């Protein structure tokens, strides 16, 4: 009995152990406190980082302003580049047009020069026709017979001047025939233009009193090479040519 009283005195007396009384707190308040603490820490860290950059000479606001200015300048430079490109393209197109016009003009000038030279030659021929010797010359002749390759492969253009001598008191009526000598695949052949199987072509009928300029085109196989061309002029109803003349393609 005495032992139990002694134990009870120890528990309730001065030597008894201390008892702490704590209030119960909800878990979400503890988590809210943690979140607030983290937010404050993050804001403090961001402020310290920004303050450190400003202290080191870097300002985010100034950097953004400078970046915006540089972007505006780059956009302006791009617009100016596009404008200059448009001007350059327009200048190139204008230059191309001028070059084309210049080439056409040069081509026309060469054509006029050739026509002028041809007229001078024909004038000299006509003047010779008026001489006494020419009046007694042969009644028909072929002058200035030329054959040249044309634009398309196998296409040839011919030109000639037909002159009638004598008194010239009547018209000459007849036809023109071309005898074309070609070489193809190592073999030689003769072609008659127009083809007799096709009949007489209106383009090869001629009729004049003093002179006639004749010009036309004939075609051969693109793989064939024309060696010589002989022009023959027949009077209407005759089997033998009244005048002949030969030419080599491209010869002056």
CATH number of residue 194's parent domain: 2.60.40
Q: Is residue 205 in some structural domain? A: yes
The predicted pLDDT at position 37 comes to: 80
pTM of the model: 0.50
Specify whether the CB–CB gap between 190 and 207 falls below 8 A.
Answer: no
What range defines the domain where residue 174 resides? 136-247
> 15-24, 43-52, 54-63, 103-112: which has the minimum mean pLDDT?
15-24
Q: Is residue 203 in some structural domain? A: yes
Please classify residue 143 by burial: count the beta carbons closer than 10 Å to its beta carbon, then call 0-12 exposed, 13-18 middle and 19+ buried. middle
Give the percent of the chain with pLDDT over 70. Answer: 72
Q: Is the peptide bond before 89 cis (omega within 30 degrees of 0)?
A: no
Dihedrals φ, ψ of 242, to 5°? -85, -25
Q: Is residue 172 in some structural domain? A: yes
pLDDT tens-digit profile of 114-153?
Answer: 888 877 877 776 666 656 455 555 678 888 899 999 888 8
The predicted pLDDT at position 92 comes to: 86
Distance CA 96, CA 108 (A): 18
Residue 16 has a CB neighbour count (10 Å cut-off) of 11
**In this model, does residue 93 exceed pLDDT 80?**
yes
The residue whose two tokens read 């030659």 is: 121
Same domain? 170 vs 155: yes
Domains: count for the chain: 2
Q: Is residue 23 in some structural domain? A: no
Better-scored residue on pLDDT, 1 or 150: 150
Same domain? 166 vs 114: no
The predicted pLDDT at position 237 comes to: 84
The residue whose two tokens read 């003047």 is: 127
Q: 215 forms bridges with which residues in the sheet?
A: 159
Q: Is residue 48 in some structural domain? A: no
Last residue of a domain, one of 106, 129, 152: 129
Same domain? 117 vs 155: no
Same domain? 147 vs 162: yes
**In this model, does residue 20 exceed pLDDT 60?**
no
């Amino acid at each position: 009995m005495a032992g139990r009283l002694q134990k009870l005195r120890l528990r309730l007396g001065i030597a008894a152990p201390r008892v702490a009384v704590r209030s119960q707190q909800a878990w979400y308040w503890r988590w809210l406190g943690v979140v607030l603490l983290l937010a404050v820490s993050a804001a403090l860290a961001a402020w310290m980082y920004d303050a450190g950059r400003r202290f080191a000479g870097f300002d985010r606001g100034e950097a953004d302003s400078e970046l915006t200015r540089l972007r505006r300048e780059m956009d302006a430079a791009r617009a100016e580049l596009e404008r200059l490109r448009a001007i350059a393209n327009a200048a190139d197109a204008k230059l191309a047009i001028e070059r084309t016009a210049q080439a056409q003009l040069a081509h026309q000038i060469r054509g006029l020069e050739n026509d002028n030279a041809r007229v001078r030659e024909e004038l000299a021929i006509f003047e010779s026709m008026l001489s006494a010797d020419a009046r007694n010359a042969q009644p028909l002749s072929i002058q200035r017979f030329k054959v040249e390759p044309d634009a398309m492969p196998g296409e040839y253009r011919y030109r000639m001047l037909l002159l009638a001598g004598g008194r010239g008191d009547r018209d000459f009526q007849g036809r023109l025939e071309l005898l074309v000598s070609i070489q193809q695949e190592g073999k030689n052949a003769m072609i008659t233009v127009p083809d007799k199987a096709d009949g007489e072509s209106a383009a090869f009928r001629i009729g004049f009193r003093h002179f006639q300029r004749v010009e036309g085109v004939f075609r051969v196989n693109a793989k064939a090479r024309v060696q010589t061309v002989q022009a023959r002029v027949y009077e209407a109803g005759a089997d033998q040519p009244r005048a002949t003349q030969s030419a080599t393609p491209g010869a002056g």
